[in-house]
Structure 1
């Protein structure tokens, strides 16, 4: 890496892994036009140094769950400790400290019917030093998820993408089996874990693990993502945008956000704001330009609140080893 950024080959490797997180090194090497050894060496260096990680991400709906976006206000000096505690929980999928140091934003994957003592209804509102909480239920995702982020997934040509992309299956319904939670947990820590490791942690044979892995992917209950710091891609300034959009323009605004290279994630939600987005920009001037020009030109956008992130403690559901 030069100047703290990923080089061209690392970016191409990250894009390839975004398309298929479990593609073999030989398959990726053939597409990138380099040797198997080069791909393996680059991946292991990035992985061991904590720069890049492939993670298996469970999808909420096929597993009978929903996603909530929680916005917490804390008393001064309490946010860091509360955020660290949230990051250690199994049901949090993303935890970030926002500018000012008194606000936390986190994603939670929860059962359709939350238990009375669960995170949403019980523990958070009663947590000492939490002064406010707003919960937004995610209704529709426009950007992010299996599609990835254009800011990260734009290094390969169209033919290279076609050679690596997995065609989505249709009509496959996820049916749970007892060993699936352990398998999903192992893949969340290392999406490229070998079959022997996955068989050991889930207590099943390698052939069964291979079958379950295919079933999870084909049904949409699991996808693979690449965890990498946006700053290494040239986007050191990240922020969450809370947008209030006219209901008649909600669909068109969401679809437009999905085409913006700055947008890593966008979804329609319940709550005071009905559209939320995470963006990555190169500096303050680039963020201003995005707010004034790209967002400013979208019909139906009535209000935008911008909250820069100062630190992300957890991405994609597990803490890095």
Structure 2
């Protein structure tokens, strides 16, 4: 697969950048900034999303009063069973990342569960009972230091960006929106976010019909969600067409007192997407998207220079990414569909036994 491959033109990238800044801005608002008609922009976005070249979705940062539990899970598979096992796990609402990887394991998962008991149930009753699985190892995430949109583009001029993040678009969720203290996430909020996981632009009328609420209530809750620090927004080109098609997980160990400043330094690197503290034989796990396989050496060298006390303990490259966030990717790297992460899915024993 040519890692530099792209089918996205300048107009496509400008549209993606605009939606990164204002994910729910109307086509008329976007038209005033991008200089194309609303119909043209709508058709172009439909082409990008229908073809799996880009997506725009929201995920909940936390549910209720408790933050969810994340874990990195290494899965060893019987010979010839890695792909089918990965595809099976991709369909679960509890996986946010499924990668076939290099190194001493076959699959690397990023798992999301409500708590430790739920994680234990998912691993023991689901993952470890799959016919192709021979062993699994888990590192619980004890801290998330960075979870950012790696593919923040720079196609728009500063003036265009200000037009989208100014006072006329606060309710649309652009970065110019002042962040308020997170409010309690309601059952309706969770239902709305599940519906927005695959398409952040679904209309309030459609959401109201699906969720059984009035349109005015839906609009009010959307404004609260977009104005508070409770949503993670992903508007990105598919990795294969992003200029950074290679996923890597880098494990590192640093002295306990140096974790916070070291993680902050790692989060500032352009390649890093997710910087986490973890349990186990190393205390940092860093997910990154790279321009090429060769860039892995560059980023590990940069990490060691940025934090002299850091020691790289292991690296893995993704041979194939099956799932990224809520998005399921095909063999050609394009988005096929999405699976909303649902912390309130049926109990593991009811679902899998």
**TM-score normalised by the shorter chain: which range applies?**
0.7 to 0.9
Change (3 A) 1:21 1:139: farther
Q: How many residues align?
A: 316
Per mean C-alpha deviation after superposition, the further-off stretch among 308-317 and 17-26 is: 17-26
The within-5 A match list for 1:115-194 is 115=118, 118-144=121-147, 147-149=148-150, 151-162=151-162, 163-164=164-165, 165-177=175-187, 179-194=188-203
Show the counterpart of 1:11.
13
Classify the secondary structure of the residue corresponding to 2:197.
Answer: helix
* 8 Å Cα contact 1:95-1:106 kept in structure 2: yes
Show the counterpart of 2:54.
52
Show the counterpart of 1:27.
29
* 8 Å Cα contact 1:72-1:103 kept in structure 2: yes
The within-5 A match list for 1:123-272 is 123-144=126-147, 147-149=148-150, 151-162=151-162, 163-164=164-165, 165-177=175-187, 179-272=188-281
Distance 1:58 1:190 in 2: 14
Deviation (angstroms), 1:53: 1.0
* TM-score calculated relative to the size of structure 2: 0.79
Distance 1:105 1:302 in 2: 21
Change (3 A) 1:175 1:261: closer
Query: Are 1:92 and 2:89 an aligned pair?
Result: no
Show the counterpart of 1:77.
80
* 8 Å Cα contact 1:265-1:279 kept in structure 2: yes
Change (3 A) 1:114 1:36: same
Distance 1:136 1:160 in 2: 43
* TM-score calculated relative to the size of structure 1: 0.86
Classify the secondary structure of the residue corresponding to 1:132.
Answer: strand
* 8 Å Cα contact 2:5-2:243 kept in structure 1: no
* 8 Å Cα contact 1:79-1:101 kept in structure 2: no
Deviation (angstroms), 1:28: 2.9
Deviation (angstroms), 1:100: 6.2
* 8 Å Cα contact 1:60-1:66 kept in structure 2: no
**Cα deviation per residue 1:86-139 (whole Å; 9 max; x = unaligned)?**
111122222221136952122222113524873134332343332332222223
* Structure 1: segments with no counterpart, 5+ residues: none
Deviation (angstroms), 1:201: 1.5
Root mean square deviation, CA, Å: 2.7
* 8 Å Cα contact 1:67-1:108 kept in structure 2: yes
